[in-house]
Structures are given as structure tokens and as C-alpha cells.
Amino acid sequence: MATTDKASSRDRLLDAAAQLFYRDGVSIGVEALCRAAGVSKRSMYQLFDSKDEMLAASLERQLPGYEAQLAPGDADAGPPRERVLRVFELLEEASVSADYHGCPYLAALVELKDPEHPASVVARAVKERLKTFFRTQAERGGAQDPELLARQLLLIFDGASARSGARVERLDDGLTTATASALLDAAGVK
């Protein structure tokens, strides 16, 4: 019974952390997190050594849903160019949601500033996975410099995500996909 209670408290904390960190930023206090989760601070510290560890766990827990939202699925299997462009189309689709605040992993990196912070480590790994996806598709598509193209695509992705999340730029006009397409053209990706 106690194990179920702990798992339930853990899930509630991670759910609250995901929502509050994404909406309000990582500076949200432990008391607010615990209140939102309906969990005591004592229980939180029994489950996590620190708020930093809880943030990292929250980001890790969100990863499958985040990747599923952006990754081309089996139905989208096709040439490398189409697979890359599909990521940008999915970003554009996600960005029109009223509760879209940009990439949660980029936001964590920007807010935390500390590359050794547990959540920064998780976020950097996520960004590296996306860059690896872009590089792999660039290689398969015949790019002359797949690493450079992957870095450029990630820069477009992160910049578009940040600007859209800050409500400075709208992505529903295809700008992001058109920009990625221009890079793919210049690199000769099929």
C-alpha cells in the first residue's frame, strides 16, 4: 500500500512539475509544486533528493510524448528530406496551441544556465538526439556536410520554437518548413 502511495505521489509531483515548469519556468518554488501536486514537502524530499532532481525526472518522463509529437511516425516514412521537413511541419502544428510555450528542453537549458544541472544534462541529451536524427537523415539524403546541416536544422528548430513560444513569431505560415527546405536544397538532400 505504501508503495502505491509513493508511486502516486511521485506521479503527481512529476505531473505538477511538468506543467508548472513549462508554464511558469524552473524558478517555481517547492511549496507551489507540492501544493499543486497535493503532496507534502516531506514526501517530496523522500522521493527526490532535490527540486533539481525532480525537474530532471520530469523532463525525462516527458520525453516519449515530446518525441512522439515531433518525430515522423511509420506512416511518415519516406525519403530523408520528407522526414526532416515533417519535423518542422509538426513543430508548426504544435505551435498554434494556446498552451504552447516552446520547447521545454530548450527552455530548461536557457533558464538554468548551469551545464552540470541534472535537468540541463537531460535537456542537452534530448537536443543531441534531435541533432543526430537530422544528421542521419542528412547522410541518407546525400548532404555534403551532414554535421553542419544537422546543426543548422537544430538552430532553426530551436529558434523557431523559442520565438513562437514567446509569441514573437507565428509558425502557422510555413516559414519554418520553408527555411528548412531551403537548407536541404542548398545541401542537396533528396
Residue 145 maps to which CATH number? 1.10.357.10
Same domain, 44 and 120: no
Tens-place pLDDT, residues 83-98: 999 999 999 999 999 9
Rounded-to-integer distance, Cα 133 and Cα 169, Å: 25
Q: Is the dihedral of CA 54, 125, 62, 91 positive or negative?
A: positive
| Torsion on CA atoms 16, 17, 18, 24, rounded to nearest 10 | 100
What is the pTM for the complete model shown? Answer: 0.89
Tens-place pLDDT, residues 113-122: 999 999 999 9
What per-residue confidence (pLDDT) applies to 190?
A: 86
For residue 55, being part of any structural domain is answered with no
What per-residue confidence (pLDDT) applies to 73?
A: 64
List the CATH number of the domain containing 22. 1.10.10
Grid cell for residue 118:
541534472
What per-residue confidence (pLDDT) applies to 3?
A: 47
For residue 54, being part of any structural domain is answered with no
Mean pLDDT, contiguous 10-residue spans, the chain (190 residues): 61 94 92 95 94 95 88 72 95 92 95 94 96 96 97 98 93 95 96
Same domain, 96 and 41: no
Question: Is 48 strand, coil or helix?
Answer: coil
Same domain, 89 and 169: yes
Average pLDDT, the chain: 91
What per-residue confidence (pLDDT) applies to 75?
A: 54
CB atoms closer than 10 angstroms to residue 2:
6
Rounded-to-integer distance, Cα 168 and Cα 28, Å: 24
Rounded-to-integer distance, Cα 20 and Cα 33, Å: 7
Q: What is the CA radius of gyration of the chain?
A: 18
Rounded-to-integer distance, Cα 6 and Cα 74, Å: 37
Maximum Cα–Cα distance for the chain, whole Å?
Answer: 60
Which residue is associated with the grid cell 518525430? 71
Contact in structure between 48 and 6 (CB atoms under 8 Å): no
Same domain, 16 and 88: no
Of residues 80, 18, 83, 88, the one with CA closest to residue 54:
18
What residue type is assigned to position 132 of the chain?
A: T
Same domain, 101 and 165: yes
Q: How many domains does the chain have?
A: 2
